[in-house]
Amino acid sequence: MTSITLTAPAKVNLFLKILNKRKDGCHNLITLFERVSLADEIKISKIPHGIKLKSDKFITADPKDNLAYKAAELILRYIRTDKGSKGVNIKVKKGKVCGGVDIRIRKNIPIAAGLGGGSSDAASVLMGINKLYSLKLRTIELVKLAKKLGADVPFFVLEAPFAIGRSIGDKLEKLNTNICLWHIIVSPGPKMSTKEMYDAFDVSTKDLIPRLRSGSSTELLSKYLTTDFADDKINRPLRRSMDFNAAESMLYNNLEEIVISKKPVTGMILERLASSASRRSIVAGSGPSVFCLCLSRKEAITARKKLLGSLPARDRNGWQIFIAKTEYQKI
Q: Find out whether 164 and 331 touch, Cβ atoms under 8 Å.
A: no
Q: Find out whether 258 and 201 touch, Cβ atoms under 8 Å.
A: yes
List the catalytic residues. Answer: 11, 152
Q: Find out whether 28 and 167 touch, Cβ atoms under 8 Å.
A: yes
Query: Between vectors from CA 114 to CA 121 and to CA 66, what angle results, nearest 5°?
Result: 35
SS3 call for 8: strand
Instruction: Give DSSP secondary structure letters for 214-255.
Output: TT--HHHHHHHB---TT---B-HHHHH---HHHHHHT-EETT
Return all residues near 191 (Cβ < 8 A) that are at least 6 apart: 111, 112, 113
Pairing assessment for the beta strands 320-325 and 3-21 based on DSSP bridges: unpaired
The number of CA neighbours under 13 Å toward the Cβ of 319 is 23
Q: How many CB atoms lie within 10 A of CB 192?
A: 21
Alpha-helix runs per DSSP H in 109-173: 117-132, 139-149, 153-158
Strand extents, DSSP E, the chain: 3-21, 27-47, 51-55, 100-106, 162-166, 171-174, 182-187, 252-253, 281-283, 290-294, 320-325
- Distance between CA 184 and CA 292 in Å, rounded? 6
